[in-house]
Amino acid sequence: MPELQLLRADHAPALLAFEWENRAYFAAAVPDRGDAYFAEFAARHAALLAEQAAGVCRFHVLVADDGAIVGRVNLMDLVDGAAELGYRIAERATGRGLARAAVTGLCALAATDYGLDTLRAATTVDNHGSRAVLARTGFVPVGETVLGGRPGLLFARDLRESHTGPALRAPRDHA
């Protein structure tokens, strides 16, 4: 099973390949990142690492045994014990429980290592896979929203409540 790793500078080439290879797949379910994202990837990656160093966000990648990135699981806007969860899994890696394991693993890290007690997430109404992952990992619907012009749902999870499930191995000593 892939390893959950905190985003590092040396992940940039594999992360860019992951985003390129899955662009059309992701755009079918979530708003497209746009051409500027790819044209300015190096600067964007550096900015993400700066945000992470400042403690504003925690970005993670799922790294397969061959070094390829097969997913992202991120916590954004860490404020007052809460954060926004976002994730995406490569098309070739779907259907194997990887999203559930990654979200479960990140929820554990969020509570134990990052001191968070609440996570929020959003997905489009028609993204049934994402809605199922959120439900299976203890998130509950709390409202409605609009994402990229599409109807969406808001979810939340209280990390103080126990919700178990398979999780990825998440080493704590990556520097």
Give the pLDDT score at 162.
Answer: 64
Domain boundaries, the chain: 3-158
Give the span between the Cα atoms of 122 and 131, in whole angstroms: 9
CATH 3.40.630.30 fits 3-158, yes or no: yes
Give the pLDDT score at 30.
Answer: 77
Q: Of the candidates 112, 99, 45, which has an alpha carbon nearest to the alpha carbon of residue 70?
A: 99
Give the pLDDT score at 32.
Answer: 80
Give the pLDDT score at 169.
Answer: 47
Give the pLDDT score at 149.
Answer: 87
Single-letter code of the amino acid located at 74: N
Residues of the chain with pLDDT under 70: 162-175
Single-letter code of the amino acid located at 52: Q
Give the pLDDT score at 164.
Answer: 52
pTM for the model: 0.87
DSSP-H helix ranges across 5-138 = 12-21, 23-27, 35-39, 41-53, 98-112, 128-136
Give the pLDDT score at 170.
Answer: 47
2 DSSP assignment: P
| CB distance 21 to 90 below 8 Å | yes
Q: What is the signed CA dihedral for 159, 142, 105, 1, rounded to 10 degrees?
A: 160
Single-letter code of the amino acid located at 21: E
